[in-house]
Amino acid sequence: MKITDQARDLLNPILEEETAGCLRLFFAGYGCGEPDIGMAIGEPEADDELHHINSIPVAIDRRIIHLTESLTIEGKQTMEGPKFQMLGLPEKDC
């Protein structure tokens, strides 16, 4: 998994503001028969693996860790605030 420098620069102030402390990737149900990945700022849970990726603390739900190997998190500043996108997820046949 990778976090781009731009995403890191946008995440750092958010993590400093929140007392939660890390970026968390979690199992968010199934879509088209495949697991979906959710992304939030929060505390790690018992079944999470903890990592530091490009200086960002990341908790990844063990149920979806195999899906994050080729994942890249990109970020950009918009008029509505920072927006983040997960790239490199497997294509789904719906």
CA count, 13 A, side-chain hemisphere, 63: 15
pLDDT for the residue numbered 20: 67
Report pTM.
Answer: 0.87
Measuring CA to CA, how many Å separate 55 from each of 3, 21, 22, 31? 9, 12, 11, 31
Question: What is the rounded distance in angstroms from the CA atom of residue 80 to the CA atom of residue 77?
Answer: 8
Sorting pLDDT into bands at 50, 70 and 90, what band is 4? very high
Q: What CATH fold (topology level) applies to the domain 2-87?
A: Hypothetical Protein Aq_1857; Chain: A; (2.60.300)
Q: Are strands 22-31 and 56-61 parallel, antiparallel or unpaired?
A: parallel
Q: Which residue has the tokens 């997960």?
A: 86
Structure confidence by residue, pLDDT tens digits, 14-45: 998 877 689 999 998 887 777 889 999 999 99
Over the stretch 69-87, which tens digit does the pLDDT of each residue have? 999 999 999 999 999 999 9
**Length of the chain in terms of residues written:** 94
